A and B are shown apart, each in its own frame.
Chain A
Amino acid sequence: MRETLADLARRLGGLALTMLVVSFLVFLTLEFNVEGVAVKVLGQFSTPDQRQAWLSENGYLDPFAIRYLRWLLDFVRGHWGTSTYYHEDILKLILPRLGASAILAGGGLLVMIPMSLILGVAAGAKEGSALDRSISLVSIITTSIPEFATAVFLSAVFVIGLGWLPGVSTMAAGLSLRELILPVSVLALASTGYIARMTRASMAEVMAQPYIRMARLKGASPARIILAHALRNALITPVTVIMLQIPWILSGVIVVEVFFAYRGFGTLLYQASLNADVYLVEACAMVSVLTVVVSQTIADLIYVRLDPRLSPGGGRHS
């Protein structure tokens, strides 16, 4: 028990350290050049004396280290400042956007996980079969096409060609499932193939194990072999991969959100960088890092749970 707590403390410490390093890098990149910050906040047509006045009013003439510490302290206390582009409190701006992105990413995972597991298990259960080959082929094709291309392709077919689906997903009149179809499909298509391939490989490996052969020799039905004997062990790898996919989905979400004008965290980050909204970019970067680091920590914990050999006790309990 003490070991588990110590491990958790170590993980949290690592998490905090990662955040600290990233925060320093973010601040260094965006605010080292104070003249640049003034141009971004006041606009490109401001004159040098206007900028100078703004810099001294806002404490920008202080040493870099002091400015960084002040910024860090404000950030920890939840004072994230005001967005120069949206003219709104950044915390208030980000939270609903994160919710919207969670809906999109969650929808993507909801489609992706069952589909990829079913396809992967079906393909891996009988390696080399026609079913395996066709599933593998489709998986490779969908995985190798990036989201921005899938989005254009699906939009050309279903919006401009057939006219079945809406072209943008602004959710102007509240949550609309019809508007979710295209973005969720694009997200799911990109990752389903990858996870299916992983599941297939893991499944094929398990199916070649002696205990499966034993079960088969005992006369167990194929369904029983797959569900009762193979599946549990075969899922260790895909579950880990799915957790590892979460940060990757985060980047995919940006592409998909921007393409479909979906008002989530991705478009917010994109707009912020396009408009040089320094404070918003900083906050978004920190939130992204937090998401990635937390999801990775959770993934580690799940992995340890699934595979006792990795626990801090070094497999003593097994």
Chain B
Amino acid sequence: MNGDGGSPHPAARELLGQFRRGEIGRRDFLRAASWLGVSGASAAAAAGLSACAPVHAPVSQDTVRFVCAVQQMTDPALTTWIEASNLFRNCLEFLVEVDADNICRPFLAQSWRPSEDLKTWDFELRPGVRWSNGDAFTTEDVAFNINRWIAPKSKSVNRTAFAALTGIEVTGPLTFRLHLNRPVCSLPEQLYAFTCPMLHRDFERMGADWPKTPVGTGPFTLTDFQVGRQASFRRREGYWGPPPTLRQIDYIDLGTDISTHVAALAAGQVDILYRVSVAELDLVRRLPQARLIRQQAAQTVVMRMQHDQKPFDDLRVRRAVQLAADNAQMLRLAYRGYGVVGENHHVAPFQPDYAALPAFKRDVTQARHLLAEAGHANGIELKLTLGNTQGRFEQDTAQVLQQNLAEAGIRLKLNVLPASEFWSVWDKTPFGLTYWSHRPLGVMALDLAYRSTSSWNESHFNDPQFDAGLDVAMGLIDPVVRSKAMAGLEQILQDQAVMVQPYWAEKFTAVSPRVRNYRAHPSDYFRMDKVWLADA
């Protein structure tokens, strides 16, 4: 039942048993099996599920026009913009894919298998994959990329994300082994992060400027690239997979104002918008030239308090802020209810490793009481820094919080910075509102944001018990057991009042009604090779 004919991870058999007994759902089973290196198709077959038949569209001469910021992508592994990755994703491929349903699938790696302690991972590459310059894709390429990410001088965010990765060992032309210093159950998921495209082993020798020498293994090839204006991709002959349905994709940079994008869609000048915000929803619904697409995602805003800064070094103050906040109201007023209420622990109910805690209740009286106890009987002045990095809704959320806290005698001042200014202080400000994008697993976000040693630990949360709990959770494959471990972690974050995390925000976008088979993705990692246009 596993992809490479060897013996599967012992947990795989146990998973199948759990699935048959109905202890875990279909998605949980497929997901967990895929981490263990069991391919989606064989896992589905073993469990007696029918794999979804892929939709086949004819290879066409269509061109799709996609509104997307066209940003510099000289070194795809160094990019800090997901938009840029949506361009190079047409040419560059990844070892693993996490699809729109949050399920991990084989991509350039056809299978993988962890050791029992989840510290050693064996990967096997898909044979017969060729680069657009004719070279074969081998473990030499993989080793080049991974060594670049984790090199001490690396400027890639992968150095942070793969802090546990100690090295790669090439075991054959198509097989390699990754060594970790602690168990990481989410390793395959992390390999689909937008900063992890597989570059050609000679990338640096070719000048280290990807748009100038756009060699890739993907279905399209880059034909035009002008930062801030447009970029074009053309279907490539000789792709290893099924040929893409579109002949050409044009990415058009229309700036940051989404109402401009909607006007372009209404006038038929473009076919797919990158994203629409909650502010444009009504307009999009009314336009006959637009079809609204909604997508649930574990993206959120976190109003976190730094534990080593006054007055947040006092748990009672943090707790008072958390108790006075009305998460449901913030969702209703600032995001018009399109989402799920958060529980102040940064794990979403629809993430597979979520564990339900007792409902968190707002209690203004208790908040006042705690403040008085902490020596702020006459209330307290606090300042929240934010940057509207994703849109106006961040400020709207903060304003609702301002009203909520006023009820408990907390006078909240909002310090609204331009987005670019905000990014230079996001991890320095004592009380700040930060947007966190979707992660397939709750444990991934906790590991990045709240582990004491993580360089993205913006709340300066430092709890050895929590770190130890994370290590345990990261080493558990079994969803039932892991969610128990997660319950403990969630409880610590909630009890320590690290943050007010009001809601999980849905994603929206709009496309022309002609566009077929386009799927939103919770991480905005769009794949264009199966999209086509219906006749007008």
User: Residues of A with Cβ closer than 8 Å to B?
Assistant: 35-36, 39-40, 42-47, 50, 85-88, 152, 155, 159-160, 163, 165-168, 170, 172, 258-261, 263, 267-268, 270-271, 273-276
Contacts and interface: CB of A to CB of B under 8 A. Distances in A.
Contact of B423 (A44, A47, A160): A44
Contact of B263 (A39, A45, A167): A167
Interface in B346-388: none
Contacts of A47: 455
Interface stretch (B52-60, B222-230, B396-404): B222-230
Contacts, number: 96
A159 B283 CA distance: 13
A43 B80 contact: yes
Contacts of A42: 155
B534 interface: no
Given A85-B72, A260-B260, A44 B266 contact: no
- Top 10 A-B residue pairs of the complex, sorted by shortest distance between their CB atoms: A167-B263, A276-B420, A167-B267, A44-B423, A261-B254, A168-B264, A39-B424, A87-B72, A86-B227, A167-B264
B266 A160 contact: yes
Interface string B491-516: 00000000000000000000000000
B157 A45 contact: yes
Interface of B: 71-72, 74, 80, 155, 157, 160, 227-230, 252-257, 259-260, 262-267, 269, 283, 287, 418-421, 423-424, 426, 455
A317 B257 CA distance: 56
Contacts of B265: 167
Nearest to A84: B72
A261 B74 contact: no
A248 B418 CA distance: 24
A310 B45 CA distance: 93
A165 B256 contact: no
A42 B80 CA distance: 10
Contact of A44 (B260, B264, B424): B424
Contacts of A261: 253-255, 257, 260, 264
B255 A267 contact: yes
Given A44-B423, A168-B267, A271 B260 contact: no
11 contacts: A44-B424, A87-B72, A159-B266, A160-B287, A165-B267, A167-B269, A168-B267, A261-B254, A261-B264, A270-B255, A274-B420
Contacts of A258: 255, 257, 260
B256 A274 contact: yes
Given A43-B80, A50-B155, A168-B254, A271 B267 contact: no
Contacts of B72: 85-87
Contacts of A259: 257, 260
A172 B230 contact: yes
Given A167-B267, A260-B260, A274-B256, A46 B155 contact: yes
A45 B228 contact: no
A203 B426 CA distance: 58
Contacts of A273: 418, 420
A163 B260 contact: no
B426 A168 contact: no
A85 B155 contact: no
Contacts of A172: 230, 252
Nearest to B152: A49
A88 B269 CA distance: 28
A159 B254 contact: no
Contacts of A160: 263, 266, 283, 287
For B74, B80, B229, B255, which residue has the most chain A Cβ atoms within 10 angstroms?
B255
B260 A167 contact: yes
Contacts of B256: 274
B227 A36 contact: no
B43 to A, nearest CB: 35
Nearest to A160: B266
A168 B228 contact: no
A274 B419 contact: yes
B228 A85 contact: yes
A39 B419 CA distance: 13
A216 B160 CA distance: 86
A60 B527 CA distance: 42
A36 to B, nearest CB: 6
Contact of A271 (B155, B228, B283): B228
B80 A45 contact: yes
A86 to B, nearest CB: 5
Nearest to A165: B267
A247 to B, nearest CB: 23
B480 to A, nearest CB: 35
A271 B259 CA distance: 17
Contact of B255 (A88, A155, A271): A271
A155 B419 contact: no
A275 B263 CA distance: 24
A142 to B, nearest CB: 21
A273 B157 CA distance: 24
Contacts of A165: 267
Contacts of A46: 155
A274 B81 CA distance: 14
B426 A44 contact: yes
A197 B266 CA distance: 37
A231 B229 CA distance: 46
B283 to A, nearest CB: 8
A313 B49 CA distance: 97
A39 B427 CA distance: 12
Contacts of A50: 155
Contacts of B74: 87
Given A85-B71, A165-B267, A168-B254, 18 more contacts: A39-B424, A86-B227, A86-B228, A87-B72, A159-B263, A159-B266, A160-B263, A167-B260, A167-B263, A167-B269, A168-B269, A170-B254, A172-B252, A263-B228, A273-B418, A273-B420, A276-B420, A276-B423
A50 B151 CA distance: 13
Given A50-B155, A261-B255, A40 B228 contact: no
Contacts of B266: 159-160, 163, 167
Centre residue among A36, A45, A47, A271 by max chain B CB count within 10 A: A45
A312 B421 CA distance: 48
Contacts of B254: 168, 170, 261
A146 B71 CA distance: 31
Contacts of A274: 256, 418-420
A36 B424 contact: yes
B85 to A, nearest CB: 14
B463 to A, nearest CB: 23
A50 B160 CA distance: 13
A222 B109 CA distance: 88
A45 B79 CA distance: 10
